[in-house]
A and B are shown apart, each in its own frame.
Chain A
Amino acid sequence: MNVSRRTVVKAGGGAALYSALASIGFFAANPAMAAWKKDWFDAKNVPDTLKAMGIAGTPAAGDITITSPDIAENGAVVPVGIASKLQKTEMIALLVEKNPAMMAGFYEFASDSLPDVSMRVKMGQSSDVIAIVKADGKFFMAKKEIKVTLGGCGG
């Protein structure tokens, strides 16, 4: 653990400073952190996110299943499952369209593994969730609307 970094984080105390430092590569010394795709997670809308991911245009619809409730009572914990039946699925990303930052997470698979994951995400309000799947070098997407009764962003 980098001692000076700890001190800076403590002294700053604010998320603004923290992200400002992150954006100028202050944490690049930590290899695990450098790999985190900040630009993917910073994108605020669908076109920006697709662009950050290096996708040109809108991906085609594919054989992707999104499993989730149609109505989520608590936006702080919305269970979402994504399974891809596409051959050679390499990556699955989950986007929540109306969250402050769209990208919730993405999963990369080894060549012979099974592309089927479930997770729980926070949703600020009713929104579409979008699954983007990369299979055999091509991108595909699927969409599902989830209605949220109680927003999960706190505050």
Chain B
Amino acid sequence: MADPMRIRARAADGVIDARVLMAHEMETGTRKDASGKIVPAWFIQEVTCQVNGKTVMSAQWGPAVSKNPFLQFKARGKAGDKVTVTWVDNRGEKRTDEASVG
């Protein structure tokens, strides 16, 4: 199981500003290791962001997203709302984390 995400969300004037830091290698599949073998691609392909269970934004990523991806998004909402973020990588592994808006 992958490490948990760090989610920080704050609301101001009815807008939630959420910052998510995911722990993932994000291998591109073009890099070679020390022995010259290609490191297989391993990256997050899909990210879904929900506020109070309703999907506000869904993303698909390629291998060009940096290692330990950072994502910031905005949504309508208020303090106390629940922000849920889910990712799925190209190996089919997934992780979901939740945070309440402060």
Residues of A bordering B, CB below 8 Å:
1-2, 9, 13-16, 18-19, 30, 32-33, 35-37, 40-41, 76-79, 81, 96, 99-101, 103-110, 112-114, 116-123, 152-155
Contacts and interface: CB of A to CB of B under 8 A. Distances in A.
Nearest to A118: B72
A149 B75 CA distance: 34
14 contacts: A13-B37, A13-B40, A16-B38, A32-B88, A36-B45, A101-B64, A107-B59, A107-B73, A114-B73, A116-B73, A117-B59, A121-B66, A153-B31, A154-B28
A107 B72 CA distance: 12
A72 B57 CA distance: 28
A30 B56 contact: no
A6 to B, nearest CB: 8
Given A36-B60, A114-B75, A118-B70, A15 B38 contact: yes
Interface string B26-64: 001111100001111100011000000011111111111
A106 B38 contact: no
B90 interface: yes
Interface of B (DSSP majority class): strand
Nearest 10 interchain pairs by C-beta: A118-B72, A15-B29, A120-B66, A104-B64, A105-B61, A114-B74, A113-B56, A41-B62, A154-B31, A107-B59
Contacts of B55: 110
Contacts of A153: 28, 30-31
